[in-house]
A and B are shown apart, each in its own frame.
Chain A
Amino acid sequence: MTIAGLDIGSRTIALVEMDGGGIRHSEVVETTFDPLEQCRVLLEDRGFDLLVATGYGRHLAQANFADRTITEIKAFALGCHEFFPECRTILDIGGQDTKAISLAPGGKVADFQMNDRCAAGTGKFLEVMAAAMGLSLEEMGRIALETEAEVKISSMCTVFAESEVTGLIARGTPRPEIARGLHEAICDRAVSLLKRVGVKREVVFAGGVARNPCLRSLLEHRLGVPLLVPENPQIVGALGAALSANTS
């Protein structure tokens, strides 16, 4: 039996197809303004027996083509456990949400925390800040590594932080320092979420932002433990969705 997992996030949509032998296909596309159409393109001409959707667009998928849905919490738990069976704690910084999940030894969700309703501390925050500095996300992550000096960004609110950044630029603060300060701010937020569920090794860092080397090293430094990052952190949710078909 072939099972497809689809993770419809606010930034990207990931598809994973599994058969008896493991992952046989995976693909990631941008969400755009028309996620449904993006899903159709992604699923066109693909053959599978069952489709499980997760992510923030799962209800949309359920109403249109998915057979089942699970939450991204459960999907990330399953996906991370598959990549790293010793995983006990997960940090996922996505486009809209940041979540910290703690797993029981067998991989089941024991507790979880998510950010409040605003985009503070999420991928969106970094995106808005990169735009305010006229940089791409990747560039911002790269230049943040160029310095040890850091300016403190005190607002976690995306709107306030944006004007703070504008102010710093106007005062001539070097961009690498601002970039580093912004990463520190996100790191603070993530660490406080993680602390609420408890940090047990192994800790897996998943989701799109896990690709950001600056944030990764800041987090490792603050937590004092190495972070495991899946080779393709963006497909963890979709993989978990596909795996869920066999567990329930």
Chain B
Amino acid sequence: MTDYHDMWKELGIDLDAHDGLLEVLPPMYEENILSQEGRPGGMEYFDFVFSEVHGLRIKELVEHREAGAVVVGTFCTYVPEELIIAAGGICVGLCAGAQVAAEEAEKYLPRNICALIKSSLGFKLAKVCPYIESCDLLVGETTCDGKKKYFEMLGELQPVHIMEVPQMKLEHDRDLWRKEIRRMLERMEEMTGKKIGEKQIRDAIRLVNEKRKALLRLEELRKSDPPVISGRDALLIDQIAFYDDPARLTEKINALCDELEERKKAGVSIGGAHRPRILLSGCPMALPNWKVATLIETSGAVVAMDEMCTGIRYFDNLVEEDAADTEALLDNIADRYLNIHCAIFTPNRERIEHIKQLVEDYDIDAVVHYSLQFCDPYTVEAFSVQREMEKEGVPFLYLETDYSSEDTGQLTTRIQALIEMVGCAEKA
């Protein structure tokens, strides 16, 4: 293994704390991911990428910056990576899926704030995230209140650009959002000192669309019953898609999909007895948050689909490539992103309709709604989702948790009871 300590030191990482973090990751990965049986061979690439999460990929970012280009960090699937790529930049989703330096973060944040925000600040304060330290700019957004206020704090530590995400989807919201796309483009131009031309935008759209198509192809294969890939492996790929090189990633996902198609034909599955099919829906599960997915799958079910931002919300719908000029391209980008159905919107009927559609398309036996504790948008919206699922006769389990592991016993009981319940129903 290459020694990256000098590189991390350059980036200002707290080496001791960081070594500590790197020590806990491999056993976690072993327990949640590697220990699964019947994994496709194509997962090898993703295992490698994860093993180099703070190594090789960071080296690529460093080299990219040495060549005079920028790295931009984002926190939400609303921020269009096309604009970053068009500016010659690399876009990295800043994960915060593990609890780090919570006490430190609580000096600046109330205790009752969602784990995503708390650990994001924890990573920053503890200086253990080489991604955020590699960023020339962070792009925040006005989604939930917690994040809005958090970005003000972050802005004191690092340059931050905020996009105003509307809260409704009316005509003037669309206008606002289209303007915000242009304002972000200007910020990118200002930062790089280079004008972004039509060709760069076009190429970026195509590149990201290809990534989406590959991810959608993978989702299509998750319809197979018995499953040819586990929900955890699919989740891992979605998580990695936020920071890996898009062209390379697309190629690797497609290669994996070729293999999965072969598996499907040959009747090879991830093994085990008949697995009830679960749809996971709710807050994002940032790397390395596999807690709930692992509990579901080690209890004998399969996560057949994810309605989350680390799931279909991230790559559903392409940006329309057919456009006359730059202005039209930018509008197309805006429209694609405005069509994400996050709970910060009101009304957000589309999300419920989407969940219903997924339940049907993926032959789902039960929906597990995952909310992070203290996340108002999703904990509140869960009630509407539940009501709708009851109407449809779809078994529904509501889980509210965070990044700690102290509640795994209780979560396991609920998940297993749900699986017993849908398992029984099937036999009856």
Give A residues with C-beta under 8 Å from B.
Answer: 56, 59, 70-74, 96-97, 106, 108-112, 114, 116-117
Which residue of the partner chain A has the closest CB to B424?
A: A108
Q: Are A73 and B413 in contact (CB under 8 A)?
A: yes
Q: Are B420 and A72 in contact (CB under 8 A)?
A: no
Cβ–Cβ < 8 Å partners of A97 in chain B? 410, 413
Q: Are A117 and B407 in contact (CB under 8 A)?
A: yes
Q: Are A73 and B420 in contact (CB under 8 A)?
A: yes
Q: Are A109 and B413 in contact (CB under 8 A)?
A: no
Docked CA distance A82–B361 (Å): 39
Q: Are A109 and B410 in contact (CB under 8 A)?
A: no
Docked CA distance A123–B9 (Å): 52
Q: Are A56 and B425 in contact (CB under 8 A)?
A: no
Docked CA distance A97–B417 (Å): 14
CB B355 to nearest CB in A, in angstroms, measures 18
Answer yes or no: B409 CB below 8 A from chain A CBs: yes
Q: Are B416 and A71 in contact (CB under 8 A)?
A: yes
Cβ–Cβ < 8 Å partners of B428 in chain A? 106, 108
Docked CA distance A109–B421 (Å): 6
Could you list 16 examples of A-B contacts with CB < 8 Å? Answer: A56-B409, A59-B412, A70-B420, A73-B413, A73-B417, A73-B421, A97-B410, A108-B424, A108-B425, A108-B428, A110-B421, A111-B395, A112-B414, A112-B417, A112-B421, A116-B400
Count residues on chain B whose CB falls below 8 Å from chain A CBs.
17
Docked CA distance A198–B406 (Å): 30
Q: Are A109 and B407 in contact (CB under 8 A)?
A: no
Cβ–Cβ < 8 Å partners of B414 in chain A? 112, 114
* Residue of B395, B413, B420 touching A56 (CB-CB under 8 A): B413
Q: Given A70-B420, A71-B420, A108-B424: A114 and B407 within 8 A (CB)?
A: no
Cβ–Cβ < 8 Å partners of B417 in chain A? 71-74, 109, 112
Q: Are A71 and B413 in contact (CB under 8 A)?
A: yes
Docked CA distance A91–B395 (Å): 20
CB A36 to nearest CB in B, in angstroms, measures 16
Docked CA distance A108–B409 (Å): 23
Cβ–Cβ < 8 Å partners of B412 in chain A? 59
Which residue of the partner chain B has the closest CB to A198?
A: B390
Cβ–Cβ < 8 Å partners of B413 in chain A? 56, 71-73, 97, 114
* Residue of A70, A110, A112, A114 touching B410 (CB-CB under 8 A): A114
Which residue of the partner chain A has the closest CB to B407?
A: A117
Which residue of the partner chain B has the closest CB to A114?
A: B414
Cβ–Cβ < 8 Å partners of A108 in chain B? 421, 424-425, 428
Cβ–Cβ < 8 Å partners of B406 in chain A? 117
| B378-404 residues at the A interface, CB under 8 angstroms | 395, 400-401
Cβ–Cβ < 8 Å partners of B421 in chain A? 73-74, 108-110, 112
CB B203 to nearest CB in A, in angstroms, measures 48
Docked CA distance A218–B87 (Å): 67
Shortest beta-carbon contacts, A-B, top 4:
A73-B417, A71-B417, A117-B407, A71-B416
Docked CA distance A86–B255 (Å): 56
Q: Given A70-B420, A109-B417: A117 and B410 within 8 A (CB)?
A: yes
Cβ–Cβ < 8 Å partners of A110 in chain B? 421
* Residue of B409, B420, B425 touching A74 (CB-CB under 8 A): B420
Docked CA distance A108–B424 (Å): 8
Docked CA distance A150–B382 (Å): 35
Docked CA distance A221–B395 (Å): 31
Which residue of the partner chain B has the closest CB to A113?
A: B398
Docked CA distance A98–B344 (Å): 32
Cβ–Cβ < 8 Å partners of A114 in chain B? 410, 413-414
Docked CA distance A74–B425 (Å): 13
CB B222 to nearest CB in A, in angstroms, measures 27
Docked CA distance A59–B410 (Å): 12
CB A53 to nearest CB in B, in angstroms, measures 13
Which residue of the partner chain A has the closest CB to B398?
A: A113
Cβ–Cβ < 8 Å partners of A117 in chain B? 401, 406-407, 410
Docked CA distance A117–B413 (Å): 12
Cβ–Cβ < 8 Å partners of B401 in chain A? 117
Docked CA distance A220–B395 (Å): 29
Docked CA distance A24–B34 (Å): 46
Which residue of the partner chain A has the closest CB to B420?
A: A74
Which residue of the partner chain B has the closest CB to A109?
A: B421
